Structure 1
């Protein structure tokens, strides 16, 4: 084993935290519930209701 590999001590100074909960919740995103896909590019198309909800959320939460 090489001299520069440290297997005995934990890494110091590096923020290595493990989070149990995700930072962002994507279940309410407009692309979470796709209504369909484009034929060639296979890009997901959100439903009209999801687009309207995302638009309302963006307008209410502007800074």
Structure 2
């Protein structure tokens, strides 16, 4: 049985919503968190 979660959602870009856009209220993360997410992806590519 797995004890640790596979993904860490608290560090995801969508978890740090700066504002919502339009009628659909699309979540827009802050530029700082977008950069952190991009750096994480670039570092963890397989």
* 1:20–1:50 distance in 2 versus 1, CA, 3 Å: same
Structure 1 outlier segments of 4+, above 6 Å:
none
Q: In structure 1, list runs of 5 or more residues that go unmatched.
A: 1-16
Structure 2-normalised TM-score?
0.80
Larger relative helix fraction? 2
Larger CA Rg, structure 1 vs 2 = 1
Partner of 1:36: 19
**How many residues were matched structurally?**
46
Structure 1-normalised TM-score?
0.61
